Structure 1
Amino acid sequence: MPPLSATATGSRAALDAAGITESDYLRFCEYFYRRTGIAFGDNKRYFVDKRLIERMHATGHGSFEPYFLSLRRFDAQAEIERLTNLLTVNETYFYREDHQFHCLSASILPEVTAGRRHGDRVRIWSMPCSTGEEPYSIAIHLLENWARVDDFNIEIIASDIDTKVLRSAAEGLYDARSLHRLPRDLVRRYFVTEGADRFRLIDAIRQSVSFTTLNASDPAAMRAYAGVDVIFCRNMLIYFDDKSRKQVVESFYDSLTEGGFICLGHSESMSRISPIFKARAFAQAIVYQKPGGPR
């Protein structure tokens, strides 16, 4: 077993000095859960404490109690937004789990568009979209792989609770790590090099995605999204508890058109959340469908 480092000891001392007790941690986690639906357990204590202390120092609060009280003021929205941005995880890259993109172009969209006329709308929603790699990947994949991409008015909506990553997504500037799964010919076709190890998406792709701020645990806000044909919600529900997962899934159900589809992350299963969707096993992936519509 390696010896306890001075850095780790100092970090724990800093947390203790900030006055965040076990009771304080539980109170904050309950408050954050009510606002976002995201549940933090004991295994996230250090992660949460460290970010709380960062915001406490930035706002001039010497201990947890006055900072926590400040979050509950009527004019605290800006600070709540900054804290939420720090506490949400945004790990993504282009063409992540791209078997689902192949399922989209080869199996899902042919069903969704069956019977639709030339120029009809097709709506695809990425939630949460993080820094934009997923919705931009969808746009690139469809241009490259769906023969009927020009036959319909394709709208790609991308939403996240984190306003900082949304600003980054709209900017469309990435490093090589984000592009490591993209074939080189696609990088050359859809990106412009900006300095060492920086790549900016071309305007045509950036303008094909609409970014919106959204708290998935707010049913009223979710009701603003309707007429969606396909939802990509990958690796978000694992951060929610059973009650919040069920609520979010029901909101997605209401947003989808009859026969619409939802794609979850590889470690997520709709059968453990709600029976309102039916599983569809395509050659490329298992996805979930709202009953009704073409089959």
Structure 2
Amino acid sequence: MGERVGESEADGLSPEDYATLCDFLRDRTGLSFTEAKRYFVDRRIAARMQAVGATGLRAYLNLLRFQASGEELQRLVNLMTVNETYFFREKYQFDCLVNSVLDELVRDRPKGSRLRIWSAGCATGEEPYSIAIMLLENWGRVDDYEIELLASDIDSAVLERARAGIYDERALQGLPAHLRAKYFQPMRGTAEAGGPRWRIIEDLRESVDFSLVNIADPQQVRGFRGIDVIFCRNLLIYFDDLGRREAASMFYDALAPGGFVCLGHSESMSRMSSLYVPRRFPDAILYQKPVDGGAL
């Protein structure tokens, strides 16, 4: 007899089915779900199986694998990702960027050269917009170079929010008042819809190139090359050891020689890869691709 949706909703997946699902998600997204995430995963899978009328996990996985549009897989990915962040989170790393890293990167470059900064796992956009504000406010050479701000995430829903650039009080809690006044416009008529909200100004919205990217898919990251700085903070904690090593190798290929990776405060590149050189700056520790790493 086939599985019934009601059994999945009430009792959760069997250990075998849970392992099968986790293997599938890991292969497709790089995300690793352990037994500790069992309740979180069970609830979301049960909801999606019911929504599409799947009679059991096998039928649902077949839909995920063979649906030409990929819409259901994207819906599931959106449910499975957690996106909590705010402006100027772990600001000391942005300080490191404008106080040390950028000046080193352009030391031997003529004015007008291109600088590429990639926010991987950008969620609702607070990180790339924070970078843009830091550059405008704190790097005196910002007008001397062509700066490309790239931002990506696997979750299509949060990318739509990032492009819209609308934020609540919690997201702006770490932003000084003068920067809020300079770069954000209050939204009208929002008090009854969960509190006041602000929209980042159009010039900043247009300064960031947002794209839907699964960093575990080599085809999707192939276009990211010659990157000078990669911010990938608190994303790889959701990967297993193999996934982290694969991501570190992918970032290495994406970086220009001498480029840097910035990880979250609890992450260490030394546990993932020996390809990088740790660099201790006054504000933070970053990981550098050796200058003699060869042309890409």
What TM-score do you get using the length of structure 2 for normalisation?
0.91
2:153 to 160, 175, 178: 160
Q: 1:65-80 maps to which residues of 2 (within 5 A)?
A: 65-75=58-68, 77-80=70-73
1:83 aligns with 2:71: no
Letter of the 2:135 partner, please give it. L
Distance 1:68 1:120 in 2: 47
How many Å apart are 1:18 and its aligned residue? 6.5
* CA–CA distance in structure 2, aligned partners of residues 151 and 273 of structure 1: 35
- Secondary structure, in 3 states, of the residue corresponding to 1:283? coil
Q: TM-score, normalised by structure 1?
A: 0.92
Contact 2:9 2:46 in 1 (8 A): no
Matches within 5 A, 1:2-41: 15=8, 17=10, 20-41=13-34
What is the deviation of 1:125?
A: 0.3
User: Judging changes above 3 Å, is the alpha-carbon distance between structure 1 residues 16 and 194 closer, same or farther for their aligned structure 2 residues?
Assistant: closer
Helix, strand or coil at the partner of 1:117: coil
- Please say if 1:288 is aligned against 2:274: no
Q: Is the 1:238–1:268 contact (alpha carbons within 8 Å) kept by the matching residues of 2?
A: yes
Taking structure 1 as reference, are residues 70 and 19 closer, same or farther at Cα in structure 2, changes over 3 Å only? farther
Identity between Structure 1 and Structure 2 (%):
51
- Cα offsets for 1:125-152 (capped at 9, x unmatched): 0001000000000000110100101111
The answer to whether the aligner puts 1:249 opposite 2:248 as a matched pair is yes
**Runs of 5+ consecutive residues of structure 1 not aligned to the other structure:** 1-12
Alignment of 1:211-226 (within 5 A): 211-226=210-225
Deviation at residue 220 of structure 1 after TM alignment: 2.5
Question: Of the candidates 104, 108, 121, which is equivalent to residue 115 of structure 1?
Answer: 108
Q: Quick one: distance in 1 between partners of 2:72 and 2:43?
A: 16
1:95-144 CA distances to partner (integer Å, 9 max, x unpaired)? 00010000000100000011111111110000010000000000001101
Aligned pairs for 1:249-268 within 5 A: 249-268=248-267
Residue 233, structure 1, aligned to residue 226, structure 2? no
- What is the aligned-residue RMSD (CA, Å)? 1.5
Q: CA deviation at 1:14?
A: 7.1
Task: In structure 2, list runs of 5 or more residues that go unmatched.
Answer: 1-5
Alignment partner of 1:175 out of 151, 154, 168: 168
Post-superposition CA distance 1:230-262 (Å, at most 9, x none): 000001111111111111111111111111111
Preserved CA contact (<8 Å) 1:37 1:244:
yes
* Residues 18 and 53, structure 1, Cα contact 8 Å, conserved in 2: no
Q: Distance in 2 between matches of 1:145 and 1:35?
A: 39
State the SS of the aligned residue for 2:142.
coil
